[in-house]
Amino acid sequence: MALSFRRIVASIGIALLLPVVAHAQESATISGHVTGEGGIALSGVAVSIPELGLGGITRDDGSYTVAVPSARVNRQAVTVTARRVGYKPKSARVTINPGTLTQDFVLEANPLQLGEVVVTGAGTSTEVEKLGNVRNSVSPELLVKSNEANVVQALAGKAPNVQIAQSSGDPGAGSKITIRGLRTINGDVEPLFIIDGVPMNNSTFSTTNFNPIDAGSTTGVGGQDVGGQLEGTSAPNKMMDLNPADIESVEILKGAAAAAIYGARAANGVILVTTKRGRSGQTRYSLRSSGTNDEVTKTYPLQRKYGQGQRGVAAPITRSWGQELTGDTFDHAKEAFDTGHQLDNTLSVSGGNERTTFYLSGNYNKNQGVFVGPNNYFDRATARLNASHHLTEGLTVGGNFSFADTRGHMTQRGNNVNGLLLGLFRTPPNFNNFPWLDPKTGLHRSYMVPDATLETAGQTRVFNNPLFTLNEELNDQKGNRAFGNINAEYIANTWLKFNYTLGADYAQDERLEGCPAECSDVAVTGRITEGRITDYQLDHNLTGTANWHLNANVAGTVTLGQNLNARNYRTFSVVGRGLIATQPFSIINTLARDPASDYQTEIHNESYFGQATLDLYNQLFLTGALRNDGSTTFGRENRRSLFPKASAAWTFTNAYKPSVLTFGKLRVSYGEAGQEPQPYLTSPTFSGTNLVGGISQGTGFTPTQSGLGGLFTSFTKPASSLKPERTKELEGGFDIGFWGEKADFSATWYRSKTNDVILVLSVAPSTGYSSEAKNGGVFSNSGTELSLNLRPITKTNYSWDLGLGWGRNKSNVDTLSGAQFLLTDNGLLKTVAQQGFPLGVIRSLGWVRCGISPNDAISGVDLAKVCAGAPKGALYLSDGSNDECGDAGMPCVDNTERVIADPNPRWTGNAHTTIRYKKFELSGLVDIKKGGDVWNGTRGALLSYGTHKDTEIRAKCTGAATSTCTGNEHAMGDADFYPQPVVGPGKGVKFPVGENWYRNSGLAACPFTGIDDPCIEDGGYVKLREISLGYTFDQPWVARSLGMSSVELRVAGRNLKTWTKYTGLDPETTVGGSTSRVGGTDYFNLPLTRSFVVTVSLNR
């Protein structure tokens, strides 16, 4: 593992550069070898003389050289220290005499990572044992071993309470990351990403946002249309532009206590990524090449016995309740899926000399997805150059530059008649989706328009033929990203240094979606959506750090810094309707265009911060920090905000050491961090779009009418003053090492309270406005995080280690400023914040249940009496005599909306292990989510459509009423039919289950009835995330015959197996994708994939 020079110097915190005084004296050279246990040469070890501010790094053979200029050779005694990540630092005293000195080091492994340096953000760093917060770091080996091209997804299962959700298995689909639960309902829920000291945008933008009219969107807080959560394509999260192979380290700052140094942008935590640097010595080459086969983890169970129709008779309707089939049937569950292929190549070259180092890499990732046809892929090319140069003694300048080019073609999904799965799984088994174009007319044929004659031109297909969706639609995205920084470090004298970073992040993303003519629904005449997202960020960060040693027992540092940040964001888009010619998919080839949409934001921040540390008796480490943020998003009266933090770490084993403990530390910290308001909430405006909502999505008026420009007063009352949301977090815990160094255990408890949460509260529409943004919400989160690492066997030839992580977060909405509930997502369901409940619960109607429904839920029934003795949640079954209820034996509708599900997991955990035998290495990672409800609307819809496998056994119905049906009789609560406790006069009463129940009863098909509790399922899972077996060839013959220093072969599997009770495609999936705050909504989203990977790494 490489170690960055800058981090070392920063960590040591002491550097000396005396003015060059001309003395006629001889220079000195200190050189030597650094080896590990067993005499293995260690490369990349930083050898430094802190008192002189000098240092060098060992070459591949473990040798190093530090030259001391003649002016500074004073025959003095100095300390020479050798450090390398994974090893305990070692120091030696040497006397500087002119000439050559030799000092060798033998380093011991350091599984507890004591003495290693951790970056803590905003230019500060510290040593592991001095940290007042829980440390979660992810090593580059783990990131690369995950075989994920997306660094966010690669973090899955790597740290407790760091939750990752993949939006779909479509190539390029984004992943969402949240840490320690949610703390906001309108702001961003993801942590701030900092790459080499510069914030990097990790936004996710769905192309459907460009088409608010068809997407049935609402205007988001801050004014941008948000409609893309339920349909459209999966969207990439922008951290995808970073090649995981370029990463040197990832530090996760969880919660406000750790992240407070980032002030108003840090309430969700911060992820600090450091990219690789070159090091002096021989130039090193590395080529890593991997090939992956992907396939869908699961498809839906569909029936193949009954055809299109109703009441047992064939009819040209959308449902499959028709005749029993005798002819050919088709396997719609599988016909759209294929094996996907990925090829990932990274070539890196790094090296340098004592003054200049560089790291250069290029990556090409080609990902052809799992849906049939050529149109689903995501290709990424990245290049990176990191370089630094010691300009003069004391002054080092450097630059990191990265470029990414992504080209993807995504697949329409979700609640979308032009999406893949909606049409696919609804297709009756007797309809052949091939060919998707009529051979004679070339027109789109679907099961609702099976005979695509010329007369059907211009008519909707109701649902697209899924193969038409895959082969004829265009869903293109092209991203370009340039990001990086120039940096300088100036060591002014023995106790003072300065760091400067000027970073930039420029991203442009072009989207083009085209639905040909005879697409379904509103796109029937053909539709083009074209848009561009431009994101531009500049960041200036200047810090000065002073440190002092009063005596051997008292030392400290003071860092002062200043940060300026400017973010510009703009989207521009047009929707065109009515294709003139069939090609090209271009906005100019359309008959009519919706009003163009142009949305931009500009945010400026100006911040000052300071941090002081105090080290006492080498066992008590205190840190205090303060950040003052100014932001244009704050109201004028609150233009600046202050965020404090304090922490203490006590290495008690330095005072008292029980024999069982190798190391022990208690830590406690408190910090405050914020979330900026959305821009422009305080700015009064008029609006020109979305004036009147129609009855369904796709209908509505703008104030402009018949070519005359119209405007209206914004529905949202301008806020008089707003300040940032503020999270106050208290964290405590301990870290211990025991059984020698064979085990370590870490426990952390935290409690946070988020005040001033910005709520868009309803105001009485009769006042002229419908909503107003206010700082009014209070949310709290509390939780526990445990991690245990065991290294039972650590022999030279073989070793075994095992790690376990466990995290639990409990959130609660303390107050919503009087609102009963507020939506957290613009989703298919009401995902809400509701006082007294965890954030993100689902509200809807449900069946009448004991202990949940009001006593008078059914007219004339004293529910409490019937329910006496029954468990809470028992289902009331009626005798069919009440209006609220179905026929005898069926449940009843509770017309009082209630919280029916909580998508938040009860806890999450992970287990990883590595077994090494000589040059073989076997490792595995299991990712566990306990609890967390998912609304399986896909299943609900397919039951109504009669295509779900569960409808294969069905009652025969001749009419809509239950009385017209015979056969397949079941009683609710039976082991094979809605098994659960039941009460009431209908208990045990069997009724025929067929079309009448699933389609007509108004009780069963939740997506269409609004009664959602029957669709709630347990979304807990255990996933075998990663398993890999590698072998490293580094025998002498490798160098002799291949010219390589080592060759590594690895076979791996990803997401090979999921154990879950969930009956849908995958409990991880959510129709909102990574743009949804909470998740837990499954509605015809695309499936996830499992992968088999073969990797070859060549190192020279």
Strand 875-876 relative to strand 982-983: parallel, antiparallel, unpaired? parallel
Cα distances from 222 to residues 604, 718, 760, 796, in angstroms, run 16, 11, 10, 59
Q: Per CB under 8 A, which of residues 504..533 are in contact with other proteins?
A: 520-522, 524
Distance of alpha carbon 276 from alpha carbon 242, whole angstroms: 12
Judged by CB under 8 A, how many residues of this single chain contact other proteins?
87
Nearer to other proteins, 565 or 1097 (CB): 565
By CB under 8 A, name the one of 327, 439, 707, 869 that touches other proteins. Answer: 707
Give me the least distance between CB of 581 and other proteins, in Å please: 20
Nearer to other proteins, 5 or 680 (CB): 680
Residue 695 interacts with other proteins (CB under 8 A): yes or no: yes
Nearer to other proteins, 317 or 612 (CB): 317
- Select from 827, 934, 756, 839 the least CA-distant residue to 180: 839
Nearer to other proteins, 274 or 689 (CB): 689
How many CA atoms lie less than 13 Å away from 832 in the CB half-sphere?
A: 20
- Of 30-38, 563-571, 619-627, 650-658, the segment contacting other proteins by CB under 8 A is 563-571
Q: Per CB under 8 A, which of residues 941..980 are in contact with other proteins?
A: 960
Q: Per CB under 8 A, which of residues 46..85 are in contact with other proteins?
A: none
8 A C-beta contact, residue 834 and residue 820: yes
Nearer to other proteins, 749 or 769 (CB): 769
Give me the least distance between CB of 1031 and other proteins, in Å please: 50
Distance of alpha carbon 834 from alpha carbon 837, whole angstroms: 6
How many CA atoms lie less than 13 Å away from 105 in the CB half-sphere?
A: 32
Nearer to other proteins, 589 or 653 (CB): 589
**792 alpha carbon, distance to own chain's centre:** 33
8 A C-beta contact, residue 418 and residue 473: yes
Give me the least distance between CB of 3 and other proteins, in Å please: 31
By CB under 8 A, name the one of 20, 550, 655, 686 that touches other proteins. Answer: 686
For tokens 């309902």, the residue is 185
Nearer to other proteins, 564 or 1022 (CB): 564
By CB under 8 A, name the one of 551, 696, 796, 859 that touches other proteins. Answer: 696
Q: Per CB under 8 A, which of residues 211..230 are in contact with other proteins?
A: 213, 223-224
Distance of alpha carbon 943 from alpha carbon 1084, whole angstroms: 13
- Select from 12, 1048, 1099 the least CA-distant residue to 489: 12
Nearer to other proteins, 330 or 1008 (CB): 1008
Strand 830-834 relative to strand 692-693: parallel, antiparallel, unpaired? unpaired
Three-state DSSP state, 299: coil
Residue 692 interacts with other proteins (CB under 8 A): yes or no: yes
- Select from 1085, 822, 1088, 1087 the least CA-distant residue to 229: 1085
By CB under 8 A, name the one of 220, 291, 351, 700 that touches other proteins. Answer: 700
By CB under 8 A, name the one of 20, 67, 315, 554 that touches other proteins. Answer: 315
Q: What are 363's strand-pairing partners?
A: 346, 382
Q: Per CB under 8 A, which of residues 843..872 are in contact with other proteins?
A: none
Token code pair at residue 1021 = 């899972």
DSSP label at residue 239: G
Residue 765 interacts with other proteins (CB under 8 A): yes or no: yes
8 A C-beta contact, residue 642 and residue 260: no
Nearer to other proteins, 237 or 607 (CB): 607
Nearer to other proteins, 435 or 693 (CB): 693
Nearer to other proteins, 658 or 694 (CB): 694
Give me the least distance between CB of 396 and other proteins, in Å please: 20
Give me the least distance between CB of 539 and other proteins, in Å please: 8
Q: Per CB under 8 A, which of residues 973..1012 are in contact with other proteins?
A: 999-1000, 1002, 1008
Distance of alpha carbon 855 from alpha carbon 817, whole angstroms: 29
- Select from 850, 844, 886 the least CA-distant residue to 868: 850
Site string for other proteins, 398-437 (x = CB under 8 A): -------------------x--------------------
For tokens 């040593």, the residue is 127
Nearer to other proteins, 845 or 1022 (CB): 845
Q: What are 348's strand-pairing partners?
A: 286, 361
Q: Per CB under 8 A, which of residues 1007..1036 are in contact with other proteins?
A: 1008
Strand 281-296 relative to strand 1089-1099: parallel, antiparallel, unpaired? antiparallel
Residue 766 interacts with other proteins (CB under 8 A): yes or no: yes
Q: State the burial class of residue 68 (Cβ atoms within 10 Å of its Cβ: 0-12, 13-18, 19+).
A: buried
Cβ count near 793 (within 10 Å): 13
Sequence letter at residue 569: Y
Nearer to other proteins, 293 or 815 (CB): 815
By CB under 8 A, name the one of 383, 646, 691, 1029 that touches other proteins. Answer: 691
Distance of alpha carbon 87 from alpha carbon 539, whole angstroms: 35
Distance of alpha carbon 492 from alpha carbon 1039, whole angstroms: 45
Token code pair at residue 1067 = 């409990």
- Of 22-30, 81-89, 311-319, 357-365, the segment contacting other proteins by CB under 8 A is 311-319
By CB under 8 A, name the one of 99, 374, 658, 684 that touches other proteins. Answer: 684
Site string for other proteins, 712-741 (x = CB under 8 A): xxxx--------------------------
Torsion angle of the four alpha carbons 452, 454, 455, 459, in this order, in degrees rounded to the nearest 10:
60
Distance of alpha carbon 158 from alpha carbon 480, whole angstroms: 29
Residue 317 interacts with other proteins (CB under 8 A): yes or no: yes
Q: Per CB under 8 A, which of residues 448..507 are in contact with other proteins?
A: 460, 462
Q: Per CB under 8 A, which of residues 335..394 are in contact with other proteins?
A: none
How many CA atoms lie less than 13 Å away from 7 in the CB half-sphere?
A: 28
Give me the least distance between CB of 885 and other proteins, in Å please: 12
Q: Per CB under 8 A, which of residues 575..614 are in contact with other proteins?
A: 575, 577, 592, 594-595, 598-604, 606
8 A C-beta contact, residue 278 and residue 351: yes
Nearer to other proteins, 624 or 688 (CB): 688
Residue 703 interacts with other proteins (CB under 8 A): yes or no: yes
Residue 698 interacts with other proteins (CB under 8 A): yes or no: yes
Q: Per CB under 8 A, which of residues 781..820 are in contact with other proteins?
A: 819-820
Residue 767 interacts with other proteins (CB under 8 A): yes or no: yes
Strand 105-106 relative to strand 28-35: parallel, antiparallel, unpaired? parallel
Q: What are 484's strand-pairing partners?
A: 401, 504
- Select from 396, 392, 383, 394 the least CA-distant residue to 357: 396
Q: Per CB under 8 A, which of residues 127..146 are in contact with other proteins?
A: none
8 A C-beta contact, residue 92 and residue 40: no
- Of 9-17, 52-60, 108-116, 558-566, the segment contacting other proteins by CB under 8 A is 558-566
- Of 38-46, 323-331, 546-554, 687-695, the segment contacting other proteins by CB under 8 A is 687-695
Angle at 746 between CA 1077 and CA 645, to 5 degrees: 65
Q: Per CB under 8 A, which of residues 621..640 are in contact with other proteins?
A: 630-632, 639
Give me the least distance between CB of 975 and other proteins, in Å please: 30
Nearer to other proteins, 160 or 891 (CB): 891
Residue 572 interacts with other proteins (CB under 8 A): yes or no: no
By CB under 8 A, name the one of 347, 711, 747, 1094 that touches other proteins. Answer: 711
Token code pair at residue 695 = 């009855």
- Select from 873, 925, 922, 950 the least CA-distant residue to 155: 925
First-to-last alpha carbon distance for the chain, in angstroms, is 15
By CB under 8 A, name the one of 101, 385, 486, 566 that touches other proteins. Answer: 566
